[in-house]
Amino acid sequence: MERARTLLQALSDCDADTVGHLQRTATTVARVSAALGWDEDRRRWATFGALLHDIGKIGVSPSVMYKPGPLSPDEQAVMRDHVNYGIDLVTAYGFPAIVARIVREHHERLDGSGYPQGLAAEGISEEAKLVMLADIADAMLSRRPYKQALTLDDVRRALSAGAGSMFEAELVEPVIQVLAATPPEE
Ligand SMILES: [Fe+2]
Ligand SMILES: [Fe+2]
């Protein structure tokens, strides 16, 4: 869709790594939602939500985005603001409410330990529960200057450890299965 392309192009000018992460996360969400039998409309918007979940990083200062080493509390707040900026962007670009909701909820966790609102499981959409797993799995599988890529077995162990508390238990294995069958390209 043209609107998504425009946003991703703007992000790729400052942060091509995040664009790759968004594309891989969207591929995973498209495949898992199809495997789960979600209807076409739901699959479509879940995939757009995945494709745009970090689009608000356009608004994060490069000095924070690319800071090697740990962020100060103030810098963490700046980084976390990518959620709010992302909600504003997808809303301004006319995406449906579920896309903004996925952006809003992708850092929430089922036990209420996430941000920005500390929502508990029942307050988080099923779409965001899927996107958060695909998001974390991609981050774990990616190599960064400061960390090695984990193996899929490591990812399965980490996600299973959080199943039920942080993540939707029934979605962990479908995500792992899709990644095992068709690893997203770098
Ligand atoms: Fe994010
Ligand atoms: Fe992400």
In this structure, which ligand is nearest to the CA of 60?
1
Backbone phi and psi for residue 143, each to the nearest 5 degrees, phi listed first: -85, 140
Q: What is the pLDDT of residue 183?
A: 62
In this structure, which ligand is nearest to the CA of 26?
2
Tell me, in angstroms, the distance from the centre of ligand 2 to residue 131's CA.
Answer: 9
In this structure, which ligand is nearest to the CA of 65?
1
Show Cβ contacts of residue 84 under 8 Å, excluding neighbours closer than 6 positions: 56, 116
Tell me, in angstroms, the distance from the centre of ligand 1 to residue 113's CA.
Answer: 15
In this structure, which ligand is nearest to the CA of 140?
2
Whole-angstrom distance, CA of residue 47 vs CA of residue 45: 5
> At which residue do the structure tokens 């797993």 appear?
133
Tell me, in angstroms, the distance from the centre of ligand 1 to residue 81's CA.
Answer: 9
This prediction's pTM:
0.95
Q: What is the pLDDT of residue 186?
A: 56
Assign residue 143 a region: left if phi > 0, alpha if psi is -120 to 50, beta otherwise?
beta
User: 94 with 45: CB under 8 angstroms?
Assistant: no
From first to last of the 186 residues of the chain, give the pLDDT tens digit: 899 999 999 999 888 889 999 999 999 999 999 999 999 999 999 999 999 999 999 999 888 988 888 999 999 999 999 999 999 999 999 999 999 999 999 999 999 999 999 999 999 999 999 999 999 999 999 987 777 899 999 999 999 999 999 999 999 999 999 999 976 565
> 171: closest CA among 179, 182, 163, 183?
163
Q: What is the pLDDT of residue 184?
A: 59
For each of the domains in the chain, give its residue range(s) and CATH number, in order of start: 2-181 (1.10.3210.10)
User: 39 with 66: CB under 8 angstroms?
Assistant: no
Q: What is the pLDDT of residue 143?
A: 85
User: 145 with 68: CB under 8 angstroms?
Assistant: yes
Q: What is the pLDDT of residue 88?
A: 97
> At which residue do the structure tokens 């969207």 appear?
26
